[in-house]
Structure 1
Amino acid sequence: MTVGLTGSIGMGKSTVAAMFIEAGIPVFDSDAEVHALQGAGGRLVPAIAAAFPGSTRDGSVDRALLGPMVLGDPAALKRLEAIVHPAVGEERAAFLATNADAPIVVFDVPLLFETGGESRVDCVVVVSAPADVQRARVLSRPGMSVEKFEAIRAMQLPDAEKVARADFVVPTGGSHEETRRAVHAIIACLAAREPPSS
């Protein structure tokens, strides 16, 4: 059973992913994979440096330099995605092979709906919090501004639309314990389902 885990910025998706891991469910963190591929010695660094001159520093992609080159520029974003997505796809295939015996695996993908990724999983879990909670969380991050927050949010499907398209929703506006209970209820529900025919 493959599960897509998604949610807009500041919704608590990393916290929920950690709760799945705590419960013994393997989680593929696509953002972490991208960081590794773009970090020091990462195999995508040369290609990104060539496509976006000035976006690297000390042998790795510097997100603070790359961000302004692609934010708000759909053509530049497509160029970047054409470099990154195939490599992440290879890492995903390797993760699936490693965890072939696991009854449930989770793919943590921030832009799942935006990239059509929901068609590659059996069900979708959306992490959601009230708008004021989301805003407060994001604006408390170092280096975050209202403008940057709004630019990121503009690239993401609205929360209400994600929730409407989800198979399961994990609310994160309350306590960690409430969130954990919601995660465990989803795992129990998935475990009781018939495995999809391959």
Structure 2
Amino acid sequence: MIVLGLTGSIGMGKSTTAEMFADLGCPVHSADAAVHRLYTGAAAPLIEARFPGTVRSGVVDRGMLGTRVLGDPAALRDLEAIVHPLVRAEEVRFLAEAREAGARLAVLDIPLLFETGGELRVDRTLVVSAPPEVQRARVLARPGMTPERFEAILKQQMPDDEKRRRADFVVETGDGLAGARRQVETILAGLTGDENKAGTRI
């Protein structure tokens, strides 16, 4: 089984691209979704212990936690030390289940793939990318997002051009969903040995 690490900076269309792989029959594990689950479960008491007041009724207040860690490298490292091992344990279970099910390709959707050395845990890497002006417009359209918060998030992420340089594949999302879908189909067909069957489910 091939393990594909999928990543991309904020606003690039990473989650949508991961959904395209899922629609084509690939098992996909989202690190973001795993974090959401952990913030209502195993991670919540650990985060409250380190960042008092950030958990309400057993659920992590993501806005409050973000305010505490953005711009504070030491606090961010402490948060990562809590969350990353729990997410990776979920990944291990996910990959074992995918192999047991006979999947030819499984996707790990990891926002900070290169930043955390995650490329060492996968066979191939894919970066989702879009022009800077498209990225900025998408992100600033999100509820509660400000230019200052956007810039703070970007500082925590590897520059897009560096991610593109490191990746085995790049999916461009700036021209819309149809074009991105065709790119995903081509990549999937090549990785699974179905070069003549692009567009079919695996």
Deviation, structure 1 residue 59: 1.4
Letter in 2 for 1:144: M
- Partner residue in 2 for 1:27: 28
Letter in 2 for 1:57: R
Superposed CA RMSD:
0.9
Number of aligned positions between the proteins: 191
**TM-score between both structures, scaled by the size of structure 1:** 0.95
Separation in 2 of the partners of 1:173 and 1:3?
Answer: 22
Deviation, structure 1 residue 58: 2.1
- Partner residue in 2 for 1:91: 90
Partner-residue secondary structure (3-state), 1:144: coil
Separation in 2 of the partners of 1:182 and 1:5?
Answer: 14
Q: 1:113-138: CA deviations, max 9, x gaps?
A: 00010111001000000000000000
Deviation, structure 1 residue 175: 2.2
Runs of 4+ aligned residues of structure 1 deviating over 3 Å after TM superposition are: none
Deviation, structure 1 residue 192: 2.0
Q: 1:41-92: CA deviations, max 9, x gaps?
A: x111111101100111121000111001111111111111111111111111
Partner-residue secondary structure (3-state), 1:170: strand
Q: 1:16-44: CA deviations, max 9, x gaps?
A: 011000000000000100110002xx111
Residue 59, structure 1, aligned to residue 54, structure 2: no
| Identical aligned residues as a percent | 59
Letter in 2 for 1:171: E
Deviation, structure 1 residue 98: 1.1
Separation in 2 of the partners of 1:176 and 1:76?
Answer: 37
**TM-score between both structures, scaled by the size of structure 2:** 0.93
- Partner residue in 1 for 2:153: 152
Unaligned runs of 5+ in 1: 194-198
